[in-house]
Structure 1
Amino acid sequence: MREAFLHYIWQHQYFDKSNLETAEGEPIQVLRTGFYHSDAGPDFKEALIRIGEVEWSGSVEIHIRASDWQRHRHQTDEKYNQVVLHVVWEADEAVLRTDNTSIPTLELKNRIAPAMLQKYETLQLAGGAIPCASFWPTVPDITKTMMMERALTERLELKGAEVTAMYRNNGNDWELTAYQLLCKGFGFKLNQEPFERLAKALPWQVVRRHQQQGMQVEALLFGQAGFLNEVKDEYSQQQVREFSFLSYKYSLKAQVMQRHHWNFLRMRPANFPTVRLSQLAAVLASHQHLFARLMETSDVKTYEALFRVPVSAYWQEHYDIGKSSKAVQEAIGKSSAQNLIINVVVPLLAGYAHYSQERTYLEKAVALLEKLKEDSNRTTRLYEELGWKARTAADNQAALALYKHYCAPVNCLQCAVGNKIIKQNNLSVL
Structure 2
Amino acid sequence: MREDFLHYVWQHQYFDKVDLRTTAGEEIQVLRPGQRNADAGPDFLNARLRLGEVEWNGAVEIHLRASDWHRHNHQVDAKYDQVILHVVLTADADVRRTNGSLIPTLALAPRLAPDLLARYEALVASPPAAPLPCAPLLGQVPQLVRTMMTERALLERVEHKADIMAELHAHLGHDWEATAYHALMAAFGFQKNSEPLARLAKAVPLPVLRRHRHDARQLEALLFGQAGFLVENEETAGDAYLADRRQEHEFLRHKYGLAEAALAAHEWNYLRLRPANFPAVRLGQLVGLLHRRPALFDALLTAQSVAALSEFFGGAPAPDYWRQHFRPGRPGKVPGLGKSSIELLIINVVVPLRVAYARHVGQPALVESSIALLTELPAEHNQFTDLYEELGFEHRTAADSQGLLALHKGYCQPRRCLRCAIGARLVGGSETRMRITR
TM-score band, normalised by shorter chain: over 0.9
Matched, 1:147 2:154: no
Partner residue in 1 for 2:291: 285
Partner residue in 1 for 2:263: 257
CA distance in 1, matches of 2:312, 2:172: 24
Query: What's the offset of the Cα at 1:97?
Result: 4.4
Query: What's the offset of the Cα at 1:256?
Result: 2.3
CA distance in 2, matches of 1:376, 1:252: 41
Query: What's the offset of the Cα at 1:9?
Result: 1.0
CA deviation profile, 1:184-233 (whole Å, cap 9, x unmatched): 12112322222122112222221111111112111111111111102442
Match of 1:297 among 291, 297, 303: 303
Match of 2:323 among 310, 313, 316: 316
Query: What's the offset of the Cα at 1:81?
Result: 4.4
- Helix, strand or coil: the match of 2:135? coil
CA distance in 1, matches of 2:305, 2:242: 38
Query: What's the offset of the Cα at 1:48?
Result: 2.4
- 1:209/1:429 Cα in 2 relative to 1: closer, same or farther (>3 Å)? same
Partner residue in 2 for 1:105: 105
Match of 1:356 among 357, 361, 367: 361
- Helix, strand or coil: the match of 2:47? strand
- For 1:27-426, what aligned pairs fall within 5 Å after superposition? 27-77=27-77, 79-98=79-98, 100-127=100-127, 128-230=130-232, 231-308=237-314, 309-325=316-332, 327=333, 329=335, 331-424=336-429, 425-426=431-432
- Helix, strand or coil: the match of 2:192? coil
Q: How many residues align?
A: 428
Amino acid at match of 2:304: S
CA distance in 2, matches of 1:269, 1:102: 68
- 1:113/1:254 Cα in 2 relative to 1: closer, same or farther (>3 Å)? same
Which stretch shows the higher mean deviation, 130-139 or 148-157?
A: 130-139
Contact 1:85 1:104 in 2 (8 A): yes
Query: What's the offset of the Cα at 1:117?
Result: 2.1
Q: TM-score, normalized by length of structure 1? A: 0.92
CA distance in 1, matches of 2:35, 2:77: 20
- 1:242/1:150 Cα in 2 relative to 1: closer, same or farther (>3 Å)? same
- 1:428/1:287 Cα in 2 relative to 1: closer, same or farther (>3 Å)? same
Amino acid at match of 2:139: P
Root-mean-square deviation (CA, aligned residues, Å) is 2.2
Query: What's the offset of the Cα at 1:87?
Result: 1.9
- Helix, strand or coil: the match of 1:134? helix
CA distance in 2, matches of 1:259, 1:32: 61
CA distance in 2, matches of 1:304, 1:7: 46
Which stretch shows the higher mean deviation, 131-140 or 78-87?
A: 78-87
Which stretch shows the higher mean deviation, 62-71 or 377-386?
A: 62-71
Contact 1:113 1:427 in 2 (8 A): no
Contact 1:157 1:354 in 2 (8 A): no
Query: What's the offset of the Cα at 1:77?
Result: 4.8
Which stretch shows the higher mean deviation, 4-13 or 143-152?
A: 4-13
Contact 2:276 2:334 in 1 (8 A): no
- Helix, strand or coil: the match of 2:57? strand
- 1:70/1:335 Cα in 2 relative to 1: closer, same or farther (>3 Å)? closer
Which stretch shows the higher mean deviation, 85-94 or 270-279?
A: 85-94
CA distance in 2, matches of 1:42, 1:328: 57
Which stretch shows the higher mean deviation, 194-203 or 295-304?
A: 194-203
Contact 2:75 2:96 in 1 (8 A): yes
Query: What's the offset of the Cα at 1:54?
Result: 3.3
Seq. identity, %: 50
Amino acid at match of 2:331: S
Query: What's the offset of the Cα at 1:153?
Result: 0.6
Contact 1:160 1:353 in 2 (8 A): no
Contact 2:14 2:432 in 1 (8 A): no
CA distance in 2, matches of 1:155, 1:43: 24
- 1:115/1:283 Cα in 2 relative to 1: closer, same or farther (>3 Å)? same
Contact 1:156 1:362 in 2 (8 A): no
Query: What's the offset of the Cα at 1:46?
Result: 3.0
- 1:263/1:115 Cα in 2 relative to 1: closer, same or farther (>3 Å)? same
Structure 2, gaps ≥5 residues long: none
- 1:64/1:317 Cα in 2 relative to 1: closer, same or farther (>3 Å)? closer
Contact 2:147 2:394 in 1 (8 A): no
- 1:177/1:29 Cα in 2 relative to 1: closer, same or farther (>3 Å)? same
- For 1:14-29, what aligned pairs fall within 5 Å after superposition? 14-29=14-29
Contact 1:164 1:354 in 2 (8 A): no
- 1:266/1:95 Cα in 2 relative to 1: closer, same or farther (>3 Å)? closer
